[in-house]
Amino acid sequence: MGNNETEHTPEGDLTMSTIFWPFRNAPSKSDTVVDYIDTGYNVNLCQNCDKELPQDSSERGILFCSEKCQQTAKTVRYGRSTARDGRYENDATVREALDIRIVMILGGGYPETARRLTPEQREAIFVRDGRVCQLCGAPATEIDHIKGSSSSPENLQAVCRVCNMAKAKASPRLATPEEQAEVYAIFDRIRATQPTRICDDERRWDKVWRKISADQKGHRHT
Ligand SMILES: [Zn+2]
Ligand SMILES: [Zn+2]
């Protein structure tokens, strides 16, 4: 896997791209796909953190112990695929998107389930707000939760993508030592030439997760 030593900035805000670019030993197009996946993986353990899954989760074929773990793995795969195809280096919006995902993971994971809106809820907010961004007046394409995760209409507003991204980055603060360690661990997984975990494998996960999930459903707890 190569050299894992990097000069970690001891203190910093949560804008990661400047700290972590360039990736050393980043995944590249020429890497061969290592065929280790069929040789073994753990069933009934969280694919991201190895914590034992509750029996009802594993019986249902759920692969992660929490939304946070699921999003961490998804973010690692996103980082790896964008490093591999050059988007991370060439596209500032990709770097920002990765930063925002990581900031959300540090905050305990983006509460996707709680925040999911029905098409009818979204449309009602777009209509109420005249389909313009409530922050800058540009055409609105997204719905913002103003504060927290409540999906009541008073807490929702139509915004444009740029304002939504800016808002997610708006309150930089010093990362705690625990957060820094978490960020470094995520970037180490993104930078690794070969995937550190099966769930990090951006080129094969879409194929293998179904197999793991099916095995788990058929696996008897002892
Ligand atoms: Zn986990
Ligand atoms: Zn806007």
CA distances from 155 to 22, 170, 175, 183 (A): 39, 18, 28, 30
Spell out the SS3 assignment of 22-59: CCCCCCCCCCCCCCCHHHCCCCCECCCCCCECCHHHHH
In this structure, which ligand is nearest to the CA of 51?
Answer: 1
d(CA 29, CA 193): 10
The structural domains of the chain, with segments of one domain joined by +, span: 41-112+174-217, 116-168
Q: Which residues, in sequence order, are bridge partners of residue 39?
A: none
d(CA 209, CA 195): 15
d(CA 69, CA 109): 8
Distance 188 CA to ligand 2 centre (A): 34
For the domain covering 116-168, report its CATH number. Answer: 3.30.60
pLDDT > 60? residue 12: no
Distance 167 CA to ligand 2 centre (A): 10
**Residues, CB-to-ion distance under 5 Å, ligand 2:** 133, 135-136, 138, 160, 163
pLDDT in tens, 26-83: 666 666 665 555 546 778 899 999 999 998 888 898 999 998 899 999 999 999 999 9
User: Model-level pTM?
Assistant: 0.64
- Top pLDDT among 222 and 118 is at 118
Residue 172: what pLDDT?
Answer: 56
Distance 169 CA to ligand 2 centre (A): 14
DSSP 8-state secondary structure symbol assigned to residue 201: -
pLDDT in tens, 165-208: 787 666 555 667 888 888 889 998 998 888 889 999 999 898 88
d(CA 60, CA 81): 29
